[in-house]
Amino acid sequence: MSSTKRTISSQNATSGTASTSSPPSYSAEKIAGNDDLLNEILLRLPIKSLVKIKSVSKHWLSLISNPDFSRHRSPFPTSASGLFFAKHSRSRRARLEFDFIDLNHNSNPAHPPFRSLAVTDNRPGIKILQSCNGLLLCCTSQAFRPTTNYYVYNPTTKHYTVLPQLVFPRCTFRAIYGVTLAFDPSKSPHYKVICIRNSDVADGQFQIEIYSSETGPWRISSLGSFAADFTTQFDDGVFWNGAVHWFCPSGTSLYFKIDEERLCEMPMLPVPDDSETYNRMLGYFGESRDHMHFVDHIHENGEIRVNVYEMERDYSRWFVKYRVDLSQVSTAFPEVIPSSLIQRLASQEHLFSILCVVRGELDEDSCLVFGVPGKVLRYNFESKTLYRHGGEF
Mean pLDDT value across residues 340-359: 90
pLDDT at 218: 96
CB 354 within 8 A of CB 310: no
Backbone angles phi, psi at 384, to 5 degrees: 60, 35
Task: For residue 268, give the DSSP letter.
Answer: P
pLDDT at 252 over 60: yes
Spatial distance between the Cα atoms of 127 and 114, rounded to a whole number of angstroms: 13
Q: Whole-prediction pTM value? A: 0.79
SS3 127: strand
Express each pLDDT in 25-78 by its tens digit.
556 565 666 778 888 888 777 666 776 777 778 888 888 877 667 666 665 566
SS3 209: strand
Tell me the domain boundaries of the chain: 25-73, 76-266, 267-393
Task: Return the percentage of the chain with pLDDT > 90, whole number.
Answer: 45
SS3 317: coil
pLDDT at 15: 36
